[in-house]
């Protein structure tokens, strides 16, 4: 058996006209994570989403994680998915 470790996967939508954020999120949270957690040795899953940082360049201010402004990602623990 392999020692414990972390599997990190990064993804992004490259063609939003063909795949919406809502459709991707639905597949990811309702299908993909369940499939991953059924793999031997997978005991937990966390979804990270890049948090937007505030910008003040004359444009509209973007939001960011108010709970943890130092953290560049919002975290979503995928609980009870099995």
Residue keyed to tokens 């999120």: 25
- Residue 54 pLDDT > 80: no
pTM for the model: 0.57
What is the model's pLDDT at position 36? 85
Cα separation, 78 vs 67, whole angstroms: 19
User: Where do the domains of the chain lie?
Assistant: 21-77
Closest CA to 54 of 67, 75, 69: 69
Confidence band, pLDDT 50/70/90 cuts, at residue 20 = very high
């Amino acid at each position: 058996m392999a020692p414990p470790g972390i599997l990190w996967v990064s993804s992004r939508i490259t063609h939003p006209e063909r795949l919406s954020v809502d459709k991707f999120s639905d597949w990811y949270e309702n299908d993909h994570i369940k499939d991953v957690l059924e793999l031997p040795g997978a005991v937990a899953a966390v979804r990270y989403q890049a948090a937007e940082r505030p910008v003040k360049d004359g444009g509209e201010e973007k939001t960011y994680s108010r709970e943890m402004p130092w953290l560049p990602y919002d975290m979503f623990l995928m609980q009870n998915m099995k």
